[in-house]
Amino acid sequence: MTANLRTGSDFARLSRRVSEAGLLDRRPGYYVFRIGLVATLFVGGWITFFAIGDSWWQLGIAVFQAVMFGQIALLSHDLAHRQVFRTRRPSEIAGRIAGNLGVGMSYGWWMDKHTRHHANPNHEDLDPDVDPDILVWSKEQARASKGLPRFIGRYQAFLFFPLLTLEGLNLHFSGIRAVWKPGLRRRGLEAALLLTHFALYFSALLVVLSPGKALAFFIVHKALWGVYMGSIFAPNHKGMPILSGDTELDFLRKQVLTSRNVRGGRVVDVALGGLNYQIEHHLFPSMPSPHLRRARPIVQEYCAEIGVPYHETGLLESYALALRSLHEAGEPIRLSSGSPAETPAGRR
């Protein structure tokens, strides 16, 4: 087993099987259709917004656009992984249009963060997605926590979904901070596109809606977009093993053992943008998302052959596992303060 952990041959054999099945080939027709459909619905939503005018019915448009912002963010994700274009330049151009201009999220900031996550998923020291900035993801982080993470950590499983209502704003502010500081590639362009997005967004709200309705639209839209984005990414790694320090795991095991797939039909595939096949996505990040479903049985069979656990659950179960993991991670904080240890998903 030790020898297998230190060789890349297992992944090389799997990669050949996947490549021979044609699953690494580009799908231009699929992405032309998907981008066209999402763009049409997004623009149609804003046309309907202007047609309705100053009405409380606009809250329905806020809900619709929260979903569309999530779908555009998923397209930006595929572009960043070069699933659409083979080369960097067209991927970056389209990614900045979708991310910065479309939803007000810095493409360059997010790509840097997400690249580091893919290199070391669920690693306490190397994966920015498990930084204990607000939530703690392990008992070790809980013991070392101070300030806000320690305060929230007591009941973070109960607070997780309410906190996601702020995730949309967090994506905006993180992008703004990134372009404010030196170091971001094409910083001026990213800043200009973000500024254009916010100018158009707030102008539309203030021109069409009364101040009260504009505020209500903003709150509903951003809150639901945040919940949607968090609900897409929460099932993928939360509740899976947390790594720390040096690890002997090879690429295949590092990606498979820290990831979880979510079972479901086409509706789940569309809602989660194919990221419900998280194991396949982490093994082959540039694989077009419609191929992930077809790669799943190949990867699952291969993992069984070499004795690597392949974790897959239903959608609701994945959320329960994520919440249970958060609750368990916060246990040291509760014990130190004498708080009860009841889990939101029930006792284990």
- pLDDT tens digits, residue range 274-327? 999 999 999 999 999 999 999 999 999 999 999 999 999 999 999 999 999 999
Confidence of residue 3 (pLDDT cuts 50, 70, 90): very low
- pLDDT tens digits, residue range 188-226? 999 999 999 999 999 999 999 999 999 999 999 999 999
Give phi and psi for 263, each to the nearest 5.
-70, 155
Q: How far from chain centre, in Å, is Cα 21? A: 27
Question: What is the structure's pLDDT at 170?
Answer: 95
Question: What is the structure's pLDDT at 2?
Answer: 38
Question: What is the structure's pLDDT at 7?
Answer: 46
CA-to-CA distance for 64 and 262, rounded, in angstroms? 24
Question: Which pair of tokens denotes residue 160?
Answer: 């997780």
Give which of 214, 181, 179 is closest to 194, Cα–Cα: 179
Report in angstroms the alpha-carbon separations of 96 from 43, 77, 81, 125.
Answer: 17, 11, 13, 29
Question: What is the structure's pLDDT at 128?
Answer: 93
Percent of the chain scored above 90 by pLDDT? 86
Strand partners, 262: 313
Confidence of residue 344 (pLDDT cuts 50, 70, 90): low
If one counts every other C-beta atom within 10 angstroms of the C-beta of residue 325, the result is: 20
Confidence of residue 347 (pLDDT cuts 50, 70, 90): very low
Question: What is the structure's pLDDT at 271?
Answer: 95
For the residues 182-186, what does the mean pLDDT come to? Answer: 86
Question: What is the structure's pLDDT at 217?
Answer: 98
Question: What is the structure's pLDDT at 245?
Answer: 83
CA-to-CA distance for 78 and 91, rounded, in angstroms? 9
What 8-state DSSP symbol labels residue 3? Answer: H
Q: Say if residue 58 is exposed, middle or buried (CB neighbours under 10 Å; 0-12, 13-18, 19+).
A: buried
3-state secondary structure 129-198: HHCCCCCCCCHHHHHHCCHHHHHHHCCHHHHHHHHHCCHHHHHHHHHHHHHHCCCCCCHHHHHHHHHHHH
For the residues 335-347, what does the mean pLDDT come to? Answer: 59
Higher pLDDT, 346 or 36: 36
Give which of 102, 109, 80, 95 is closest to 180, Cα–Cα: 109
CA-to-CA distance for 222 and 54, rounded, in angstroms? 19
- pLDDT tens digits, residue range 132-169? 889 999 999 999 999 999 999 999 999 999 999 999 99
Q: Where are the domains of the chain?
A: 10-333
Residue type, 300: Q
Is the predicted pLDDT of residue 123 greater than 80, yes or no? yes
- pLDDT tens digits, residue range 60-109? 999 999 999 999 999 999 999 999 998 889 999 999 999 999 999 999 99
For the residues 263-280, what does the mean pLDDT come to? Answer: 94
Is the predicted pLDDT of residue 26 greater than 80, yes or no? yes
What value, to the nearest 5°, has the Cα angle with vertex 253 and ends 251 and 256? 105
3-class DSSP assignment, residue 26: coil
Question: What is the structure's pLDDT at 183?
Answer: 82
Place of tokens 């904080």: 333
Strand partners, 261: 312
Of 39-43, 108-112, 237-241, 338-342, the poorest mean pLDDT is in 338-342
3-state secondary structure 65-116: HHHHHHHHHHHHHHHHCCCCCCCHHHHHHHHHHHHHHHHCCCHHHHHHHHHH
